[in-house]
C-alpha cells in the first residue's frame, strides 16, 4: 500500500469523526498522522514497528492501524465509521468550501447525503432555512456544485502520472522486452487528464489479461485483443492498446495527440501525397509504407524535426517545426534554484536547514525561504518582527552551508486594498519578496486587477506568486485581467511565477507563453511545504515546456549573481530594457 493511500484513509477517518462531532484532539491526531505518512520518504507499509513509532504523530495505536492497512489493504475501524453514514456523504466533502462541519449540519438537519439531494435543496432555497447557513453559503454551495459538474471526470496531471506509472510498471514487469508507454494528454503534460492511455508494442497477447487483472481495478469495461479498458478504484479510466512493433511510432504519434495536432499533421501528409494513421505513413497512390516504426521517421518523412509531445497542441508548432524554429525547451536540469518554499516558521513541515540541505542535494546553487506573512493567521504568518528574526535565522543557516546560497525571502499577502501585509522597511531588508493573493477572492475584475497592479507598484515586490489563484478542478481563477497584469509586470520588471503545486500550475501554459512574449521574467517555483515538496518542480517544468519556454526565459536558470541582479529590487532601468527579448 502506497503512503498516499494510507494517508487518504487517515484523512477520511478525520473527516468522518468531524462529521460525527467527535473531539477535536482525536481529529487532529488523524490529520497529523496523515501528513506524517504522506511526508515520509520511505514506504511506511514496509517499515518495521520500531521505525513506525519514530514517525512524528504516530503512536502505538496508529502504528497498529498502519500495520493493518499494509497487511490487509483495509482498516476495520475505517469500515465501521463508514457504515455509520451513507457512503455518498464523502462526495459532499469534495466540494470546494464544504467542510465536515457543513456536511454534518446538512446531514443532521435535512438528511442530505448525496450531491443530488444537496443540489435540489440548494436550488429550492431549503438550505437557507437551516440555522447557521444563510444565502451566502447557499450561493457558495451552488457554485461548488456547478464547478464539480464541469470538472468531473478529469484528474490532476500529477495524480494521473502516479496512477499510470503503477499500471505501466505492473505491465513492464511482466513484459520486460516490450515497449510500454503512457500516451495521450499525460504524455503531453496537460494540466489535467481525462483518462489514462497506455500503448504497448512487442508484447505477448497475455498483456491484456495482466492489464485487466492489475491491482486497484474496480471494473473491466471491455477486453479485446488489441484494446482493453478498465475503471480503477480512484475513478480513473485506463485504456491499453497493443500494436505490432512496425507501427509503434505511428501509434505513439497518433495516441499522443492532441487531436488538433494530428489533424494538422494529417493535412500536411496529404499535401505530400501521403496518408497518416495509427498504423503508419503510406503513399496515397499505392499504399506503400513510408514510415511508422518511430515517431522521428514519421516527422522526418513530413520534412519536420521531432516535435516534443508538450508542444503538440496545434498552437503553431507544425509551422515552427517546418521553419526550423522550434524552441530548445527548458529541462529540469536547467534550474539552479528554487525560490518559493515554506518552513515550520509558518505552515511548512520542515525547518530552514532541512529545506536548504534538500535544495543542495538536488544540485541547486541557491534557494529562497519564503514563509507567509501575518494576514495568513491560520498559517501562523509572520509579522514584521518575526519576519526579520526569521531572516536572521535563515542567513545563519546560509553561513553554515558551503555549496548553496540561502535567500531570506517572504511570501507577503496582498491585502484586499492592494497594499502589502508588511511594512516597506521590512520588505526592503529581505532578499526577495513574493507577493500573493490568499483572501478576498470574490472581488470583481476591476477591483482585483487594481489590487494586483497596486502590489506590483511596490518597489520591493520581486515576484507575483500564483498569479491567478486558481485551484485546478476545484476553484476557478479569481476575476483578473491577466493581460494587464502581464503588461504591468513587464513594465515594472516583476517576475511572474509558474507555481508547480499540481493543483495550481499557475500561471498556466498559455499565460506563461504570453508573459514571456511580452518580456516578463518567469520563475518556476515549487511553493514546497516540506523537503519532499521540492520534487514537485517537474510539474512546473511541464507547464514551462508547454509554454514554449527556453532556459534563458526563466530567471532561476541563471547563476546566482545574475539571478540576483535581475530581481526587480536590483534592476536599474537600463538592465530592464536590456533583458527584454
Minimum gap (Å) between residue 170 Cβ and ligand DGT:
20
Question: How many whole angstroms separate alpha carbon 556 and alpha carbon 563?
Answer: 6
> In this complex, which beta carbon is closest to ligand DGT, that of residue 39 or of residue 313?
313
Dihedral angle sign, alpha carbons of residues 265, 268, 272, 275: positive
Please report, to the nearest 10 degrees, the dihedral formed by the alpha carbons of residues 149, 509, 568, 460 taken in order. 10
Shortest Cβ distance from residue 470 to Ca ion (Å)? 22
Report the residue number, 280 or 465, with the smaller CB distance to Zn ion. Answer: 465
Q: Which is nearer to ligand DGT, 15 or 317 (CB)?
A: 317
Task: Considering only the stretches 47-55, 189-197, 305-313, 375-383, report the one whose residues sit in contact with Ca ion under the rule CB under 5 A.
Answer: 189-197
The single residue among 147, 181, 195, 527 that binds Ca ion, judged by CB under 5 A, is 195
Strands 192-193, 227-232: pairing kind: unpaired
> Does residue 197 interact with Ca ion by CB under 5 A?
yes
Minimum distance from residue 466 beta carbon to Zn ion (Å): 6
Name the pairing type of β-strands 280-283 and 495-499.
unpaired
Determine the interface stretch with Ca ion among 69-77, 176-184, 220-228, 330-338 (rule: CB under 5 A).
176-184
Note whether 309 binds Ca ion by CB under 5 A: no
**Residue among 335, 337, 342, 347 at smallest CA distance from 378:** 347
Q: Select from 257-265, 363-371, 435-443, 569-577 the region that touches ligand DGT (CB under 6 A).
A: 257-265
Q: Which of 113, 247, 262, 458 binds ligand DGT (CB under 6 A)?
A: 262
Residue 436 in the binding site for Zn ion (CB under 5 A): yes
Residue numbers 177-216 binding ligand DGT by CB under 6 A: 184-185, 190, 193-195, 197
Cα 290 to the center of its chain, rounded Å: 40
371 binds Ca ion, rule: CB under 5 A: no
Where do the H-state alpha helices sit in 40-114?
49-54, 60-72, 76-83, 89-93, 100-110
Closer CB to ligand DGT, 96 or 237, in the complex: 237
Of these, 64, 76, 220, 263, which contacts ligand DGT (CB under 6 A)?
263
Residue whose CB is less far from Ca ion, 195 or 527: 195
Distances in Å between the Cα of 261 and the Cα atoms of 265, 284, 393 are 6, 20, 51
The closest alpha carbon to 522, from 569, 575, 460, 467, belongs to 467
- Over its C-alpha atoms, the chain yields an Rg (Å, rounded) of 26
Query: How many C-beta neighbours within 10 Å does residue 110 have?
Result: 16
- Stretch near Ca ion under the rule CB under 5 A, chosen from 236-244, 387-395, 502-510, 559-567: 236-244
Closest CB to Zn ion among residues 309, 469 = 469
> How far is residue 474 from each of residues 20, 36, 159, 479, measured CA to CA in Å?
25, 25, 15, 15
Distance (Å) of CA 220 to CA 168, 213, 233, 313, 389: 17, 9, 11, 31, 58
Nearest-angstrom CA–CA distance, 216 and 224: 20
Residues from 98 through 117 that contact Ca ion (CB under 5 A): none
Contact flags string 227-256 toward ligand DGT, x per CB under 6 A: ---------------------------xx-
Distances (CA, A) of 9 to 26, 51, 153, 375, 561: 15, 20, 22, 32, 46
Cα angle 204-209-212, degrees, rounded to a multiple of 5: 135
Binding mask 136-175 for ligand DGT (x = CB under 6 A): ----------------------------------------
Would you say 197 or 317 has its CB closer to Ca ion?
Answer: 197
What residue 508 binds from ligand DGT, Ca ion, Zn ion, none (CB within 5 to 8 A, per partner kind)? none
Residues that bind Zn ion (rule: CB under 5 A) add up to a total of 1
Q: Given the rule CB under 6 A, which residues bind ligand DGT?
A: 184-185, 190, 193-195, 197, 254-255, 257-259, 262-263
Amino acid at each position: 500500500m502506497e503512503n498516499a493511500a494510507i494517508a487518504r484513509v487517515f484523512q477520511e477517518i478525520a473527516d468522518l469523526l468531524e462529521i460525527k462531532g467527535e473531539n477535536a484532539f482525536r481529529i487532529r491526531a488523524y490529520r497529523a498522522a496523515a501528513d506524517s505518512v504522506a511526508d515520509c520518504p520511505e514506504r511506511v507499509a514496509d517499515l518495521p514497528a520500531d521505525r513506525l513509532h519514530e514517525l512524528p504523530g504516530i503512536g502505538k495505536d496508529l502504528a497498529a492501524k498502519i500495520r493493518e492497512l499494509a497487511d490487509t489493504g483495509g482498516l476495520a475501524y475505517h469500515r465501521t465509521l463508514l457504515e455509520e453514514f451513507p457512503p455518498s456523504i464523502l462526495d459532499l466533502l469534495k466540494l470546494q468550501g464544504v467542510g465536515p462541519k457543513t456536511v454534518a449540519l446538512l446531514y443532521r438537519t435535512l438528511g442530505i447525503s448525496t450531491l443530488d439531494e444537496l443540489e435540489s435543496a440548494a436550488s429550492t432555497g431549503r438550505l437557507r432555512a437551516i440555522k447557521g447557513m444563510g444565502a451566502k453559503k447557499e450561493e457558495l454551495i451552488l457554485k461548488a456544485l456547478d464547478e464539480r459538474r464541469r470538472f468531473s471526470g478529469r484528474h490532476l496531471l500529477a495524480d494521473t502520472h502516479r496512477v499510470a506509472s503503477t499500471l505501466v510498471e505492473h505491465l513492464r514487469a511482466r513484459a520486460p522486452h516490450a515497449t510500454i508507454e503512457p500516451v495521450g494528454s499525460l504524455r503531453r503534460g496537460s494540466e489535467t487528464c481525462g483518462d489514462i492511455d497506455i500503448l504497448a508494442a512487442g508484447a505477448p497477447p497475455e498483456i491484456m489479461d495482466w492489464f485487466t487483472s492489475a491491482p486497484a481495478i474496480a471494473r473491466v469495461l471491455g477486453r479485446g485483443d488489441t484494446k482493453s479498458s478498465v475503471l480503477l478504484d480512484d475513478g480513473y479510466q485506463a485504456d491499453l492498446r497493443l500494436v505490432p512493433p512496425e507501427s509503434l511510432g505511428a501509434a505513439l504519434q497518433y495516441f499522443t495527440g492532441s487531436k488538433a495536432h494530428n489533424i494538422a499533421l494529417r493535412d500536411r501528409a496529404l499535401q505530400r501525397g501521403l496518408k497518416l494513421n495509427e498504423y503508419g505513413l503510406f503513399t496515397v497512390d499505392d499504399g506503400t509504407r513510408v514510415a511508422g516504426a518511430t515517431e522521428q521517421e514519421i516527422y522526418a518523412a513530413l520534412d519536420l524535426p521531432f516535435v516534443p509531445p508538450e508542444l503538440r497542441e496545434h498552437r503553431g508548432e507544425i509551422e515552427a517545426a517546418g521553419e526550423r524554429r522550434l524552441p530548445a525547451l527548458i529541462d529540469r536540469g536547467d534550474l539552479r534554484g528554487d525560490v518559493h518554499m515554506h518552513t515550520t516558521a509558518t505552515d511548512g513541515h520542515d525547518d530552514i536547514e532541512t529545506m536548504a540541505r534538500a535544495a543542495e542535494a538536488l544540485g541547486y546553487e541557491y534557494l529562497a525561504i519564503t514563509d507567509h506573512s501575518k494576514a495568513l493567521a491560520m498559517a501562523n504568518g509572520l509579522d514584521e518582527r518575526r519576519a526579520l528574526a526569521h531572516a536572521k535565522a535563515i542567513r545563519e543557516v546560509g553561513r553554515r552551508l558551503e555549496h548553496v546560497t540561502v535567500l531570506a525571502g517572504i511570501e507577503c499577502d496582498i491585502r484586499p486594498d492592494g497594499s502589502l501585509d508588511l511594512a516597506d522597511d521590512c520588505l526592503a531588508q529581505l532578499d526577495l519578496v513574493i507577493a500573493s493573493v490568499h483572501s478576498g477572492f470574490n472581488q470583481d475584475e476591476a477591483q482585483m486587477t487594481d489590487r494586483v497592479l497596486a502590489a506590483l507598484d511596490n518597489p520591493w515586490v520581486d515576484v507575483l506568486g500564483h498569479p491567478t489563484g486558481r485551484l485546478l478542478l476545484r476553484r476557478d481563477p479569481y476575476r483578473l485581467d491577466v493581460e494587464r497584469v502581464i503588461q504591468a509586470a513587464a513594465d515594472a520588471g516583476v517576475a511572474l511565477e509558474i507555481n508547480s503545486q499540481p493543483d495550481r500550475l499557475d500561471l498556466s501554459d498559455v499565460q506563461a507563453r504570453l508573459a514571456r512574449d511580452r518580456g516578463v521574467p518567469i520563475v518556476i517555483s515549487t511553493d514546497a511545504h516540506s523537503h519532499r515538496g521540492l520534487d514537485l518542480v517537474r510539474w512546473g517544468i511541464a507547464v514551462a515546456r508547454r509554454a514554449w519556454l527556453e532556459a534563458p526565459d526563466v530567471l532561476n536558470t541563471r547563476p546566482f549573481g545574475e539571478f540576483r541582479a535581475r530581481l526587480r529590487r536590483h534592476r536599474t532601468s537600463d538592465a530592464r530594457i536590456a533583458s527584454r527579448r
